[in-house]
Structure 1
Amino acid sequence: MFRFLSSTVRFLMLLLLVALSTVAQAQKQAALPVGSRAIFTYDSVKLFVQVAGQGTPCLFVHGGPGAGSYSFEKLGGNRLEDKLQMVYLDQRGSGRSGSSRTKNYSMARIVQDMEELRQQLGLQKWVVMAHSFGGTIATAYAQKYPQRVQALVLVNSVLNPVASLDSMLAYGTSLLPAAARPAPSLPQMQRFGMVMGALQQLKLAGQLQFSHDSLAARAMRVSRAVPGNPEFAQQVFSGRLADYGQDYAPATAKLTMPTLVILGKDDRTTGATAATYQFPRKQVVTLPGKHNSFLEQPAQFRQAVVSFVQQLPR
């Protein structure tokens, strides 16, 4: 069709196409405004979101369940903000976010919250980074919306909550003197509650997830700096949300986005090994320490994440 147009018209059309392409590219790469904001989900739950830094957009998926994103932001995420534009989301019923009036805390709903956030921020894709229990949520999101995940970064992440609980119970029990250990014949959740209570009473709880008591104390101080919403955690631990007991490890074999897995050498919380994460395009970095590699090995954690992100296709 172009051959029937005058050279002037063809030139103007080419200029228009170039201009439109430039605008589209600029919109695609435009940085998000930094600062805190509230977004509302389709079912009217108010979610707290903090955007900080510059570079590749990266959603942080916190663990807990219900821990909120503040501790990671201040103890690990802030070291990445010169290379990544971090999007810290407090999940519904967690941290500084509101609760669901209908008590909808299903995995599908949490995943949909993340997708609605991406849409409201106007992002085509983002890196999804998760810590601890957040690994299950991040994997479920990547499973449903693989085209929206530029890459995954799983930091001391849980894929199988049942295996995680088993591992924590066994390790927590081993930290206790024999007289304080619950009878093996008791139900698992009862034993877990008794072990956690005994660890707290004997001031040994920090050893479960931290290599040093000073790190545990620092993490505790930061976590107490902002108010928290306990409802999501209460719903999960009530046992009424069966989908949070699912093993997501098998699903990873079909997720082809680049994935960085960061492990703690002595992490007894995840119930996982390097082989648990079956992503076809995975990189595994094992760091000294337990369950909070970003706090225990901050320089190595930053190096691993920045190096990985810089290798991603643009």
Structure 2
Amino acid sequence: MKKALLSFLLLLLLATATQAQQKHFYFTTSDSVQLYVRVAGQGKPCLFIHGGPGSWTKYFYALGGDVVEQDMTMIYVDQRGCGRSGSPANNDYSLARMVQDFEELREYMGYDKWILMPHSFGGTIATEYAYTQPTHVTATIYVNSTLNLNNSLESYIVEGARMLNVPASELRKPGTPVGEALGGVVGKLHEKDLMYKMMYPEKKMFEQMNAVMDTTLNWHFGSNVWNYKEYEQDFTVKSAQIKSPVLVFAGKYDYAIGPKHYKSFQFPNATYQVVDTGHCPYQEQPEEFRKHVRRFLAKLN
């Protein structure tokens, strides 16, 4: 009886510890937008800034990114107008408002500083945050991120043309807006069942990613972001002013961002890790991804 009671208490303690490390809630911003927040893991706090624009955080932690929860307390936030979060009544998706959302959440959670971990388009928002709030950033881990959206889109068109085995000039006529040309490339890649090659060397990885995406979720930011030209600025200019430590992941086969896009970054205190993956190293090589993150974190102590 005593042994059974001790076993029950041990299980209860373990369950309580797990609940303490994993929770989710809705945080209301100063302009009354409800943001979905999930907290998991242990260690230094790290804010994950998802890509899209307009996606959600689940694609990261559901596809292998959760390996870093063994080393950090991960704070996953679906951005306003994204995923499980609400939309602003006044359609405010400005860059300054995005940064303010994160700042309000940081203060609410009681962190003086945290690490930033942006992925893909999230790199633009993370760079603005680190640039405007340097005293609240311990370090930044850029996971296959763009710091110049137009540069990445231009690269996407060129690489897409290569995948389709046609001249880029055939897909991008003189005077055609980059967005319009991009739409044509995406359509043709879908027709040829080659879309996966822009993100992954293997099609099964692309299928796994699609399986965790939910088209019924909020996509309001993704529909409105193009009204804000500030997201199209060249953030590599601001990267030169970010003094905190930076780790940059780049994939040799990441044609969504551009495999050489990282070479334009100007961070004064950066470590660059080029890996044999496409756009999602946390999914393709999760243990390798964690190894490089851990090595970087060890230098912060």
Structures share fold, TM-score greater than 0.5 = yes
Rg larger in 1 or in 2?
A: 1
Aligned match of 1:95: 83
- Mapped partners of 1:134, 1:274: distance in 2: 14
Moved more, 258-267 or 174-183: 174-183
Residue 197 (structure 2) pairs with residue 210 (structure 1): no
- Mapped partners of 1:138, 1:189: distance in 2: 23
Which of the numbers 213, 222, 233 marks the counterpart of 1:246?
A: 233
Shift in Å at residue 270 of structure 1? 2.2
Letter in 1 for 2:290: R
Residue 136 (structure 2) pairs with residue 136 (structure 1): no
Residue 42 (structure 2) pairs with residue 57 (structure 1): no
Letter in 1 for 2:68: L
- Mapped partners of 1:274, 1:153: distance in 2: 13
- Mapped partners of 1:276, 1:173: distance in 2: 23
Shift in Å at residue 187 of structure 1? 3.3
- Mapped partners of 1:182, 1:53: distance in 2: 45
Aligned match of 2:298: 310
Moved more, 56-65 or 285-294: 285-294
Shift in Å at residue 164 of structure 1? 0.7
Aligned match of 1:83: 71
Counterparts of residues 185-204 of structure 1 (less than 5 Å)? 185=174, 186-204=176-194
Asked if the contact 1:32–1:51 (Cα under 8 Å) also holds between the matched residues in 2, the reply is: no
Q: Secondary structure of 1:156's match?
A: strand
* Number of residue pairs the alignment of both structures matches: 280
Shift in Å at residue 134 of structure 1? 0.3
CA deviation vs aligned residue, 1:48-101 (integer Å, no higher than 9, x gap): 000001111100000100111010011133111111110000000011110111
Q: CA RMSD in A?
A: 1.9
Asked if the contact 1:77–1:86 (Cα under 8 Å) also holds between the matched residues in 2, the reply is: no
Residues 274/65 of structure 1: CA separation in 2 closer, same or farther (3 Å cut): closer
Asked if the contact 1:76–1:295 (Cα under 8 Å) also holds between the matched residues in 2, the reply is: yes
Which of the numbers 246, 253, 257 marks the counterpart of 1:270?
A: 257
**TM-score by structure 1 length?**
0.85
Aligned match of 2:16: none
Residues 79/33 of structure 1: CA separation in 2 closer, same or farther (3 Å cut): closer
Aligned match of 2:142: 154
Which of the numbers 221, 225, 250 marks the counterpart of 1:232?
A: 221
Shift in Å at residue 33 of structure 1? 5.7
Aligned match of 1:255: 242
Q: Secondary structure of 1:124's match?
A: coil
Letter in 2 for 1:112: Q
Residue 286 (structure 2) pairs with residue 293 (structure 1): no
Asked if the contact 1:132–1:158 (Cα under 8 Å) also holds between the matched residues in 2, the reply is: yes
Shift in Å at residue 40 of structure 1? 0.6
Asked if the contact 1:90–1:97 (Cα under 8 Å) also holds between the matched residues in 2, the reply is: yes
Q: Secondary structure of 1:311's match?
A: helix
Which of the numbers 64, 72, 76 marks the counterpart of 2:60?
A: 72
Which of the numbers 173, 177, 184 marks the counterpart of 1:184?
A: 173
Q: Secondary structure of 1:103's match?
A: coil
CA deviation vs aligned residue, 1:256-311 (integer Å, no higher than 9, x gap): 10110111112222245443221111111110022111112212111001111122
Aligned match of 1:12: none
- Mapped partners of 1:116, 1:264: distance in 2: 33
**TM-score by structure 2 length?**
0.88
Residues 179/161 of structure 1: CA separation in 2 closer, same or farther (3 Å cut): closer
- Mapped partners of 1:182, 1:77: distance in 2: 35
Asked if the contact 2:65–2:286 (Cα under 8 Å) also holds between the matched residues in 1, the reply is: no
Shift in Å at residue 34 of structure 1? 2.9
Moved more, 105-114 or 295-304: 295-304
- Mapped partners of 2:263, 2:162: distance in 1: 25
Residues 244/161 of structure 1: CA separation in 2 closer, same or farther (3 Å cut): same
Shift in Å at residue 177 of structure 1? 4.7
- Mapped partners of 2:171, 2:145: distance in 1: 27
Residue 95 (structure 2) pairs with residue 107 (structure 1): yes
Q: Which runs of 5+ in 2 are unaligned?
A: 1-18
